[in-house]
Amino acid sequence: MANPPMAMLAEVTHRCPLACPYCSNPTDLVAKGQELDTATWSGIFHSAADLGVLQLHLSGGEPAARSDLIDLVVAAREAGLYTNLITSGIGLTERRLRELDEAGLDHVQLSVQGVSAEVADRIGGYNGGFKRKMHVAEHISGIGFPLTLNAVMHRDNLDDLPETIDMAVRLGARRIEIACVQFQGWALVNRARLQPSRAQVERAKDVVREAEARLKGQLVIDFVPPDYYSDFPKPCMSGWGSTGLNVAPDGTVLPCHAAATIPGLEFQNAVETPLAEIWHNSPAFNAYRGTDWMPDLCRSCDRRDIDFGGCRCQAMAILGDPKAPDPVCHKSEGRAALDRLLESESDVEADYQYRRA
């Protein structure tokens, strides 16, 4: 039997005032009328706690788009869960943040699209978004919430990485996630425009190393480099169905954001099936759990228990085969296909297709 998950990502809505072209939400968004109500989410939070979940990440879309956000935090706290709000900041006011504080919210993760209004508003597709975000950051600091800054980096903003780190310090963040774009969801649609160059990535690694030494003890820096330029795949989700689960706005339970892109898997709904039953016994969660599913190359590799065969969704996106070794791995036959893709898109100039909901 699988160990219990540590964390649950509750995507309480796909609605969002921003339209980021790298959004990890699926291209087929859940409509407002399909979203679970407050009482149903409350029941899922309690089921998650009973299963062994410790951390709840309230996400979207933009969770502040829900009028019952305060009630959702109250329900999560009543279930005994550590609560983290993942937000663009749009839709939050000082008053609402203070109400969230009183409700028991533990942590805020604020996304940033750039270090200036010109860049951030263009990437986020929302005029005035950067200015509002900076005001919200001031309120978060004033109230005393622990703050993580989440900066998704790509071709259009990776050269601004030093200024992005400086922004995190200025805003009083305890941690910054420098998350180079991962090509699933809307990011996959916009890959040709978003993919940074290898030279950009190498410079970014140098910037991170210098900042880690300079800001040690002041700012924690989590750097997620682009998969495509690596020799080995990242340990995606620390293994499929291993440490966390996602619940979509309609209650569908997934091992990760992009799992629904894999054909042949049927995902159960927490409204109809107990969460513990889904976690332990669902065919979808067991499909790539452990090592039995692995091809011989992965099963015999000395990195088997380090990267767990890599990302199944990435193998599907690039090779059309979710059972194949992650094509990032330099040992795999799929690496040649990935290199051809990088070459073909290296100089492509394309317009963003913006996510709308």
Question: How do residues 240-267 score in pLDDT, each as one tens digit?
Answer: 999 999 999 999 999 998 999 999 999 9
Reply yes or no on whether the pLDDT at 217 is more than 90. yes
The encoded tokens of residue 133 equal 């975000």
Question: How do residues 300-335 score in pLDDT, each as one tens digit?
Answer: 999 999 999 999 999 999 999 999 999 999 999 999
Which residues have CB under 8 Å from 135's CB, separation 6+? none
Reply yes or no on whether the pLDDT at 133 is more than 90. yes
Number of H helices and E strands in the chain, helices first, is: 15, 9
Q: Quick count: other Cβ atoms within 10 Å of Cβ 1?
A: 6
Percent of the chain at pLDDT > 90 equals 88
SS3 state of residue 37: coil
Whole-number pLDDT of residue 236? 86
Q: How far is it, in rounded angstroms, from Cα 221 to Cα 340?
A: 32
Whole-number pLDDT of residue 1? 79
> Strand order of the sheet with strand 55-59?
220-224, 175-180, 147-153, 107-112, 82-87, 55-59, 7-11, 244-247, 253-254
pTM of the shown model:
0.95
